[in-house]
Structure 1
């Protein structure tokens, strides 16, 4: 048998129709932390992938728990970057199912080290409505909502509508004209704030001293001429940051010091 949350979650009081039960696997202590919801497209641009990873990772290091919906794309990137032990995944199906199947390993890690939540009976299969209810809970749990990329008429914009009703601040990334039309429309109508500087934005939501990676260790690692994949697996977005700063060079799949 899966466990049911046996107390009222304050953040869910904002829901118009609260679920009768909330099933869970994992660490309920994460519900007590400051929480930030991150959502977006299932097919993010490389730019979106990089900045979503940086945002989720740095917000996590700054003491915030990252909430998302477990879908491919932005959701999965956010969960992974936050660290599976500091993220809450709200499922659109019963928690006996791993959906989507492509994220089965990630979902398993989160239920073991982080927190998996579902308002549906444990063997319930996802439906259109269950995705809608999942999205509403994701928004309700977060102190704010970040949408890193979204098309018009997308599920992410439905999440924005929930955030508006709950009077939560909405943040988006700046995108080029004719890209991420949904978030660009939010900027145009003044519904969302734009994250122009990640460090400045992170400082606004810092709850604990940010745990910075040891740059010396990373540079020492780069002296071994590792592959790009090896560096990315070990140091995540630090690889991209050092490349942008001109400290390393990626050539033919290998890392070199500049």
Structure 2
């Protein structure tokens, strides 16, 4: 069901003009929680994909909502890693339109468990100007903006410009010199800040208590990789991505 937002969202006061109307599907209570905006290129490299995943997952673990624009690339990775129930997707079209179509399943999951937002009525298709306003809403909702990859002429740079004009901090991840030229140039000018350690950065917002659980105890026995996969397949994959475990000579060694 698509409804109008019937209350004032104080974060959107930082926009040039507060939206005339806002429509939503899902859990509007997410707007009352702490929020971080994460955006970037539609074609991020593998390194950026991994870092986007770790950042979004880390914020969700700290009960901080991830806001993005439901596009392919960095946006969809951010939404998925945060899990649908911890994410807000702002789109540039009416909420009856699932765009981009490749993200239809993701959008439907966010409708059911998270929050979809739009400043456009049903039937309105995405246009160049509507993407610009979508970007402004995404940036306004977050405490800070994180851009994990942006080419020199990327549309993502307009989001950075909005954030800087709003007085928000903008962060990026370090890249090789010939990659993410858009963020590299802004780093060089000192306009945005680098993230050197994911865990330290995440903990600057909110730390989490690490509890000893069954899996942690099991990993401290240095189990065989095949055995661990058979018992905790998805969890082992997540821990590998996080760098919490390493595999040597067929055995798993925890780094925590």
Check whether TM > 0.5. Answer: yes
CA distance in structure 2 between the aligned counterparts of 1:168 and 1:13, rounded to whole angstroms: 13
Matches within 5 A, 1:205-220: 205-206=205-206, 209=209, 214-216=215-217
Q: TM-score, normalization: structure 2?
A: 0.89
> Which secondary structure state, in structure 1, belongs to the residue aligned with residue 98 of structure 2?
coil
2:24 is matched with 24
Q: Deviations over 1:211-255 (max 9, x none)?
A: 89843467769443749xx94x5555322234x853367xxxxxx
- 2:79 corresponds to 1:79: yes
How many residues align? The count is 248
CA distance in structure 2 between the aligned counterparts of 1:28 and 1:73, rounded to whole angstroms: 25
1:257 is matched with 251
CA distance in structure 1 between the aligned counterparts of 2:212 and 2:99, rounded to whole angstroms: 33
CA distance in structure 1 between the aligned counterparts of 2:111 and 2:143, rounded to whole angstroms: 22
Q: Aligned pair in 2 of structure 1 residues 101, 236: CA closer, same or farther (>3 Å)? A: farther
Tell me whether 128-137 or 218-227 shows the greater mean CA deviation. 218-227
CA RMSD of aligned residues (A): 2.3
- Residues 21 and 120 in structure 1, CA contact (< 8 A), matched pair in contact too: yes
CA distance in structure 1 between the aligned counterparts of 2:145 and 2:67, rounded to whole angstroms: 9
- Residues 225 and 247 in structure 2, CA contact (< 8 A), matched pair in contact too: no
1:253 is matched with none
Q: TM-score, normalization: structure 1?
A: 0.88
Q: Aligned pair in 2 of structure 1 residues 235, 226: CA closer, same or farther (>3 Å)? A: closer
2:240 is matched with 239
Q: List alignment gaps of at least 5 residues for structure 1.
A: 250-255
Tell me whether 106-115 or 122-131 shows the greater mean CA deviation. 122-131
1:224 is matched with 227
> Which secondary structure state, in structure 2, belongs to the residue aligned with residue 237 of structure 1?
helix
Q: Deviations over 1:121-157 (max 9, x none)?
A: 0221101111111000000000000000101121111
Matches within 5 A, 1:1-258: 2-206=2-206, 209=209, 214-216=215-217, 222-224=225-227, 226=229, 231=233, 233-234=234-235, 237-242=238-243, 245-247=245-247, 256-258=250-252
Q: List alignment gaps of at least 5 residues for structure 2.
A: none
- Residues 42 and 72 in structure 1, CA contact (< 8 A), matched pair in contact too: yes
- Residues 2 and 25 in structure 1, CA contact (< 8 A), matched pair in contact too: yes
Give 1:73 deviation, angstroms: 0.6
Q: Aligned pair in 2 of structure 1 residues 246, 208: CA closer, same or farther (>3 Å)? A: closer
Q: Aligned pair in 2 of structure 1 residues 60, 221: CA closer, same or farther (>3 Å)? A: farther
Tell me whether 16-25 or 29-38 shows the greater mean CA deviation. 16-25
